[in-house]
Structure 1
Amino acid sequence: MSGAFRPKFGTVLVIVDQVANIGALPLTVARAAGCRVAYLPGLSMRRAADLYPGEAKTDARDAFVIAETARTMPHTLRAIDRDDETLAALTMLTGYDNDLAGEVNRATNRLRGLLSQIHPSLERVLGKRLAYPYVQALLQRHGSPAKIRKLGRARVEALLKANGSRKAHHLTTEIFEALDEQTLVVPGTETSALIIPGLAAQLGAARPSRR
């Protein structure tokens, strides 16, 4: 590409307004073709766009603004070095981590809300421990007070211990003491038993991905 244009136009300069996202591929292609590359920062891009008529934001208008800015105000351009690429990679990873953090918060809040609705005493025991894999495993497989009670103390303790709890006996005692505090079944309990395992699974998948 660069070789085809250089005889007629001289040095080829490829400019983007985003180093990451949609700008990553054009930059890679341009470098591979031997072109120089540069970056027009977002603030400079917005200021330059204000100098031209029209308010509609289109790809064609953005390309025109970038080209004219490079031609008339080359001092606004920034060279792209490896630090920019590192920053782009970190931005990508940070965005992904933020998404995961949002998933963790949503699943945690929803689980605590459902447990508080159907069995407040059980929520007081498990809600503060939802970050632990052994609690997630218990709720994934036995997502209602009735199912946990049916499983029995010995098997609950074994499940907790198998999934990493160092105080499985103590936690099992807390769980069954909480279960004994409520004898009535709140409307919606059966429906929540269909939702809780899925939320616990989401939480179990999202939290390890953030490590």
Structure 2
Amino acid sequence: MAEQLTRLWVGIDAGKAHHWLAAVDETGATIWSKKVPNDESEILTALGEIFALCDQVHWAVDIAGTASALLLALLAAHGQQAVYVPGRTVNRMSGSYRGEAKTDARDAYVIADTARLRRDFTSIRVPAQLAADLALLTAHRTDLIADRVRMLNRLRDMLTGIFPALERAFDYTDQKGALILLTRHQTPAAIRRHGQARLTTWLKGRNVRNPDAVAATALQAARTQHVTL
């Protein structure tokens, strides 16, 4: 599909907590539509999916304010520019699309299709220096994420050779408490020796969330292995 597309129009129904993005092709057919949380990583993932469909993308948004600031800044950092489609225009155009109740997905489609049909909307300009700074920051963030993924992969590989039950017990990508535990206790014998009460106290002293649960999970894993690797 990506090879057949020459241009896409993406309509953005912006909101404080999330946005709805809808992409239409030159015929007005919906190619991609998704609810996207107003979060940097989620927005970048959505942009990547859209860029994978087509290189030439036209963007349109119904809010040019604080709700869409992060999204517009990330678009600018990727060399993209959006046009502003006023809400009253969206409401007026919605009457031309029958058969479906008002929803975020429908509004995003209307914004995209309106931008496809009209060329008189005002472009939203982000200062060039801001766009350059954001491009630098997003590139740095991507490098940090890649470094973290590599670090966690090495950690899990090493832990599999020492204490496989503990490696399976936690999701190390989002459980900070499990990583803090490993800074002191990496073997079944050490965890059993300290016991749940002492482990809990030690974790609590390092501001680990739910230290009881982390200690109990680690101790349960430790009881399954008595051989030293």
Structure exhibiting the larger radius of gyration computed from Cα positions:
1
For the criterion TM > 0.5, the same-fold answer is no
Q: TM-score, normalised by structure 2?
A: 0.41
Instruction: Looking at secondary structure, tell me which structure has more helix per residue.
Output: 1
TM-score, with normalisation over the residues of structure 1? 0.44
Greater percentage in strand: 2
Q: Which has the higher contact order (CA 8 A, sep 6+)?
A: 1
